[in-house]
Structure formats: structure tokens, C-alpha cells
Amino acid sequence: MQNLKTTAKDKVSKYLRRKTKVNATIKASHPDFRIVINKSNKYIKAQLLDKMGTVLAYVSDKDSNGETKSQKAQNAWQQLAKLIKEKNIEKVVFDRNGYLYHGRVKAFADGIREGGVSL
């Protein structure tokens, strides 16, 4: 981070602070299953993890249909909700991984709730 400008350093440090706060809060509650998201400028990916950190399901919005990125994200989450239901999991914890809860991240969470899984 030494070569970054001051504004970029501030953004990165704020993101890292949010990420550690979110992860500490979630892991302190010892959830059985959690959904962790990872976001890039183009795509958003999610993994369903158990207590030990084993990946049980994975989904990406690369192949989803939709006009906007938020619509693609919501469709991808509906696919993940189906996978979760197939594994007979009813309750999961949503780990937003330090990202702000709006836009595509919120669309992901809404898609999971519409799929019948409680967050």
C-alpha cells in the first residue's frame, strides 16, 4: 500500500476495517453455514461454507441472464438458493465480506430470501 495515493489508501483501509469487523462478528456467533461473497467490477461470486470452511456450493453470475448487474446477481442467488434447498439447509448467515450492503450485494441477499432460505 506504500505506492497508493492517499485517497486510494483511505478506501482500502476502510474496506479492510469493515471486512475484519464483519468477519469477527459473524465468526463469534459460530454459525453452522455461511454464504461468503466476492465481488469484482464485472461479476459477483458466492460460496456456501460449513463450520469447518468446506465449500458446499458455489455460484457466479457469469452465466446469468439479466440486463443489469444487479439483475444478474439476483438470478445467480436464486440458483444458489435452489442448491441450498437441495442440501436441506434452512438457515444461513450472510457474510458480505466487507462490501457495503447496497446494489449487487443487496440484490444477492434479496434473491436468497426469495428462494426460501432465511438469512
Contacts of 20 (CB under 8 A, 6+ apart): 98
Which CATH architecture describes the domain 6-114? Answer: 2-Layer Sandwich (3.30)
Structure confidence at residue 2 (pLDDT): 63
Stated pTM of the model = 0.81
Where do the domains of the chain lie?
Answer: 6-114
Q: Is 39 left (phi over 0), alpha (psi -120 to 50) or beta?
A: beta
Tell me the pLDDT of the chain (119 aa) as tens digits: 566 778 888 888 888 998 899 888 888 888 899 999 999 999 999 999 999 989 999 999 888 888 888 888 878 888 898 999 999 998 899 998 889 898 888 888 888 888 888 88
Structure confidence at residue 20 (pLDDT): 92
